[in-house]
Structure 1
Amino acid sequence: MSGPRALIVEDEAVIAMALEMFLEELGCRVVGVAGNVQEALEMATTGDFDLAFLDVNLNGQKAYVLPGVLERRNKPFAFVTGYGAQGVLAAHAAAPVVTKPFSKAALALCLDALKARLA
């Protein structure tokens, strides 16, 4: 059985690469990486993935539109942000949050929570 397909939304290339490496080590297949809100919105709307990891601030733009798109598509998501839970809108407070800097262990716990939400 292959692992879940993941979308990464992150504007910092080094962080995106670390996320991708850790997620692949944890059994995910990263099928897309978006570095800005417009690209992320397109991927979130039409992409073929199972779950997503979202940064909140992409090059100074808040990515607040993405969770709604993912919810409408029934795609579980987590926030990966330096703001911690305080940076997440109250409407999405139930989503897992991984605070930067993150560890592989923190991502593993978050991934387990997201996989439990997959139908």
Structure 2
Amino acid sequence: MTTPIPTKVHYHRKERELELTYADGESYRLSVEYLRVFSPSAEVRGHGPDSATLQVGKKDVGLKNITQAGRYALKLHFDDGHDSGLYSWDYLHDLIRRREANWADYLRRLEEAGASREPLGIEIKQL
């Protein structure tokens, strides 16, 4: 079975949701926060099974841009500066299928860490 490829990708800026529509008419919306905390980048996922970095304070994150990477993926450019990691069609489809379980696990890990989805305040980047 091959992974379906979206026929339309639309960013709903006000709701901060990415909508993926498929040829069969099915449409799914994924929050930008969800996409950010489950970024496929090594910065988030790490380089091994136990080296992932818990993403905190991402509740209000949005997208600055979306670009296509070849015919197999999207690159999402988040407004918090994160733009590494390619969201392949397979990975996006997996995020759709596992959304509820992934989100519940994320909320559990936040609670265990005593962390929050809320932004910590003004982020200052040193040059």
Query: TM-score with structure 1 length normalisation?
Result: 0.27
Higher helix share: 1
